[in-house]
Amino acid sequence: MDRGDLQRLSKDELIDLVLRLQRPEKTSRTSSKPPSTDRKERRDKAKPGGAKPGHKGHSRALSEDFDRIVDHHPARCTCCRASLSSDLPVETVSEHETIDLPEIRPVVEQHRRLSVRCPSCGTLVIAPVPAAANGTPFGPRTHAVATYLKTFQALSYERLQGAFADLFGLTISQGGLMNMLRRSQAAFAPERDAAIAALRRAKVVASDETGVRIEGSNAYQWVFRSSEVVVHRAALTRGAIVVRDLMDGHRPQVWCSDRYSAQQGHGMAHQTCLAHLARDVAYADETSDDMLPSRLRLWLKRAFALAGGIETFATSTIAAKRRALERSLADILRAPTACDLARDLQMKFRRARDQLLVFAAYPGLVEPTNNACERALRPAVIQRKVTNG
């Protein structure tokens, strides 16, 4: 908006613009922004590190599985200087350990094809091509170490290359490491297929997605979760076609997700993530003087309390609490308000009204939030950040 646009605004529009600009910035508590984007408040007095006064000290426990014992026997008496023979009775005073790693060197096995001239007929006979000559020269343990360091320890290809050189004295190009990881995928195929099959039988499924780069193009990493399995899938689209392809016609009793349209309509019933709504409500409650966001915040607190104790409540108690929540929400959504943030909240709750308390009909099976899917995505997000990938 330039100066001319500002001059054409009416007085009421200018006041509304100023009020909007004065609203506080959104944080991870009031939006879907990650906690890493929050501004850290400066501490007036930092707490000192280390153990606190009165803290009981701890030391490393001795290993139960050790390779050898070295006994240290006194040679002479410290009082009379008499010689102490090794066959005298002894008593253990203390035990100490030294621990180190052995030198790790790659085992390189060269296979040579030899030829021999037959002494009977003079034919030159050449040995067949050994299996080791086909495919990669790197063995399964090397593949396993590369997969572990890349996925679980989140090493970039450059750091992975350095780790093999520094720790094992093994030179591998970054392209070779990439091919190694691609070959390793086959080892996980049976478990992957079993996980997908379990997902297609699940009664309750939750899903979420996050952005990712695949070979220089914008793409998405999807996650699907049931009580038994978690399935990750990368796709170039954020559309519902990803869900339909994976589920292959299976419609679980309940689907849990945020309010994104591509995540909707895949189950017989749908539980909307209340944590997403709670962040929107928290922002409006901080920004607006209207009472409606506060009422919604208290309503969500009651809904979370119901979810937290649902496995201990009787069926009649759950039904009564759910009816009370529905009546209370109806009153809140009918309440008049002049605040645009409050009206937006009313609209969001109205659109998802039949998806807010579905968890109450499935005690112990359906969560009120989709936080488990977000936690399942977090390791992949962290890996992309630390590897620049």
Tens of pLDDT, residue by residue over 25-83, are: 666 556 556 666 656 666 666 677 767 777 787 888 888 888 999 999 999 999 999 99
Instruction: Tell me if 285 sits within 8 A of 22, measured CB to CB.
Output: no
Q: How far is CA 342 from CA 49, 130, 247, 278, 360, in A?
A: 45, 74, 37, 13, 26
Q: How far is CA 101 from CA 18, 78, 104, 222, 235, in A?
A: 65, 37, 8, 40, 42
Q: b or e along 220-235 (b: 16 or more beta carbons within 10 Å of the residue's beta carbon)?
A: bbbbbbbeebbbebeb
pTM, two decimals, is 0.78
Instruction: Tell me if 207 sits within 8 A of 230, measured CB to CB.
Output: no
Instruction: Tell me if 304 sits within 8 A of 274, measured CB to CB.
Output: yes
Return all residues near 226 (Cβ < 8 A) that are at least 6 apart: 198, 199, 202, 204, 205, 206, 252
Instruction: Tell me if 50 sits within 8 A of 57, measured CB to CB.
Output: no
Residue 202: what pLDDT?
Answer: 97
Tens of pLDDT, residue by residue over 79-115, are: 999 999 989 999 999 999 999 998 889 999 999 999 9
| For residue 22, pLDDT beyond 60 | no
